[in-house]
């Protein structure tokens, strides 16, 4: 019996686009001037690797833009739904226009289509994957995006047959594992500190180091380690070592320093303070005088 194959990304993309009930069959692409294309404020992808973009721009110079971008009409211009990387590369390559498919879609449909394309990226990081998946699941279940994670956890605890069937169906079309494993293993990234999520979205911090920093519960120490990680390019092991509490060695000097705390001294009466001063004088004389010869053993 032939082994079942995992759905290809393109198949999953086409399958889910089919659920939007849009007319996604051609017309053929048309050439749209780049200066009439504007990026949506809610575009899911926020970071573009400069070296990879330069490489794509060189390919565009030689072969042109091979896959049309997806747009919708907004006033006298066009709003980009999918294909921002191609638009950026075309601008770098000096093109004045790109091939585009123009669709009439709502804000919600545009969000879903942008999320679907984002899931096709080879360099997709866990945060982008989670946020794109939540957008798609929210549309499929007709709930708000911020309601999806609580809903998934609720279904793990007390499953509803109809909801589970719908979840199974959308995750099967995505081809990225089950909704149960998604809820158990992936959505935890959303619990990272906001500053870590911002750095991940900006492409300045990858998931593995962000996860190591998220384990640092002290906010001040975490902020310090974030700066060190960015400035010194600390690795995961170095972050873990720096976050580990240092072992305090119990020495006579440390004990004296602890005992001479100002608040401790303030609680003493005048007689006890004079006694402390006397002992400190003896200690100073002992430490500053000439070394005494060690006792010889008999």
In a domain, 1, yes or no: no
For residue 60, the domain's CATH number is 3.90.1530.30
Task: Show Cβ contacts of residue 35 under 8 Å, excluding neighbours closer than 6 positions.
Answer: 96
More confident residue, 127 or 53: 127
Look at the pTM and tell me if it is higher than 0.75.
no
Q: Based on the domain organization, do 92 and 110 belong to the same domain?
A: yes
pLDDT band at 13 (very low <50, low <70, confident <90, very high): very low
d(CA 233, CA 65): 36
In the prediction, which pLDDT does 12 show?
A: 46
In a domain, 269, yes or no: no
| Residue 59 in tokens | 């390919």
pLDDT band at 249 (very low <50, low <70, confident <90, very high): low
In a domain, 137, yes or no: yes
Residue 147, pLDDT > 90, answer yes
In a domain, 66, yes or no: yes
| Residue 3 in tokens | 């082994």
How many structural domains are present in the chain? 3
What is the domain extent for residue 197?
A: 192-243
Which whole-number Å values give the CA distances from 224 to 204, 206, 242, in the listed order? 16, 18, 10
Which whole-number Å values give the CA distances from 89 to 24, 53, 67, 84, 281, in the listed order? 25, 6, 12, 9, 76
Q: pLDDT tens, 61-78?
A: 988 888 898 898 888 889
What's the Rg (C-alpha) of the chain?
Answer: 31
Instruction: Give me the percent of the chain exceeding a pLDDT of 70.
Output: 80
Q: Based on the domain organization, do 181 and 197 belong to the same domain?
A: no
Q: pLDDT tens, 192-219?
A: 999 999 999 888 899 999 999 999 988 8
Q: Based on the domain organization, do 136 and 76 belong to the same domain?
A: no
In the prediction, which pLDDT does 21 show?
A: 44
Q: Count of residues for the chain?
A: 298
- Single residue among 60, 90, 114 that ends a domain in this structure: 114
In the prediction, which pLDDT does 233 show?
A: 92
In the prediction, which pLDDT does 270 show?
A: 83
In a domain, 285, yes or no: no
Q: pLDDT tens, 151-179?
A: 999 999 999 999 999 999 989 888 878 99
User: 148-157 and 126-141 are packed helices; what angle lies between their axes, rounded to 10 degrees?
Assistant: 80
Q: Based on the domain organization, do 142 and 106 belong to the same domain?
A: no
- What's the average model confidence in pLDDT over 278-283? 82
In a domain, 23, yes or no: no
| Residue 202 in tokens | 């900006």
Residue 288, pLDDT > 90, answer no
**Positive or negative CA dihedral for 257, 259, 264, 268?**
negative
d(CA 278, CA 24): 91
Q: Based on the domain organization, do 201 and 183 belong to the same domain?
A: no
Q: Based on the domain organization, do 130 and 180 belong to the same domain?
A: yes
Coil, helix or strand for 31?
Answer: strand
Closest C-alpha to 92, from 60, 49, 46: 60
Q: Based on the domain organization, do 80 and 44 belong to the same domain?
A: yes
d(CA 282, CA 12): 82
Which whole-number Å values give the CA distances from 261 to 134, 254, 256, 257, in the listed order? 54, 11, 9, 7
More confident residue, 15 or 114: 114
Residue 17, pLDDT > 70, answer no
Residue 24, pLDDT > 60, answer no
Cβ(130)–Cβ(186) under 8 Å?
yes
- What's the average model confidence in pLDDT over 263-271? 75
In the prediction, which pLDDT does 124 show?
A: 77
Residue 247, pLDDT > 70, answer no
In a domain, 258, yes or no: no
More confident residue, 114 or 65: 65
Q: Based on the domain organization, do 136 and 108 belong to the same domain?
A: no
In the prediction, which pLDDT does 25 show?
A: 46
Q: Based on the domain organization, do 65 and 107 belong to the same domain?
A: yes
| Residue 165 in tokens | 């069937």
In a domain, 297, yes or no: no
Position of tokens 């019996």? 1
Q: Based on the domain organization, do 56 and 110 belong to the same domain?
A: yes
d(CA 190, CA 129): 11
Total Cβ atoms within 10 A of residue 139: 19
Coil, helix or strand for 81?
Answer: strand
- What's the average model confidence in pLDDT over 12-40? 65
Q: Based on the domain organization, do 104 and 131 belong to the same domain?
A: no
Residue 121, pLDDT > 80, answer no
d(CA 181, CA 10): 22
- Mean of pLDDT over the chain: 81
Q: Based on the domain organization, do 149 and 226 belong to the same domain?
A: no
- Single residue among 172, 189, 206 that ends a domain in this structure: 189
- Single residue among 169, 189, 209 that ends a domain in this structure: 189
d(CA 239, CA 234): 6
User: 82 pairs with which residues across the strands?
Assistant: 70
């Amino acid at each position: 019996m032939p082994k079942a194959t995992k759905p290809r990304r393109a198949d999953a993309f086409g399958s889910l686009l089919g659920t939007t009930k849009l007319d996604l069959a051609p017309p053929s692409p048309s050439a749209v001037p780049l200066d009439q294309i504007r990026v949506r404020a809610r575009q899911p992808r926020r970071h573009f690797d400069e070296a990879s973009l330069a490489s794509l721009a060189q390919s565009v110079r030689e072969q042109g833009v091979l896959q049309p971008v997806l747009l919708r009409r907004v006033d006298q211009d066009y709003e980009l739904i999918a294909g921002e990387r191609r638009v950026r590369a075309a601008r770098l390559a000096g093109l004045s226009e790109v091939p585009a498919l123009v669709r009439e879609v709502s804000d919600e449909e545009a969000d879903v289509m942008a999320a679907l394309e984002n899931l096709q990226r080879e360099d997709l990081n866990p945060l982008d994957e989670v946020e794109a998946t939540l957008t798609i699941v929210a549309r499929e279940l007709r709930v708000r995006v911020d309601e999806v994670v609580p809903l998934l956890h609720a279904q793990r605890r007390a499953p509803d047959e109809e909801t589970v069937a719908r979840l199974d169906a959308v995750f099967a079309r995505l081809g990225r594992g089950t909704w149960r494993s998604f809820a158990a293993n992936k959505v935890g990234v959303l619990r990272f500190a906001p500053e870590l999520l911002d750095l991940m979205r900006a492409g300045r911090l990858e998931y593995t180091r962000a996860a190591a920093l998220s384990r640092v519960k002290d906010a001040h120490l975490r902020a310090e380690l974030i700066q060190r990680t960015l400035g010194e390019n600390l690795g995961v092991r170095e972050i873990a070592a720096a976050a580990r509490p240092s072992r305090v060695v119990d020495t006579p000097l440390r004990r004296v320093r602890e005992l001479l705390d100002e608040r401790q001294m303030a609680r003493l009466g005048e007689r006890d303070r004079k006694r402390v001063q006397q002992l400190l004088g003896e200690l100073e004389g002992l430490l500053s005088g000439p070394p005494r010869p060690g006792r010889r053993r008999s």
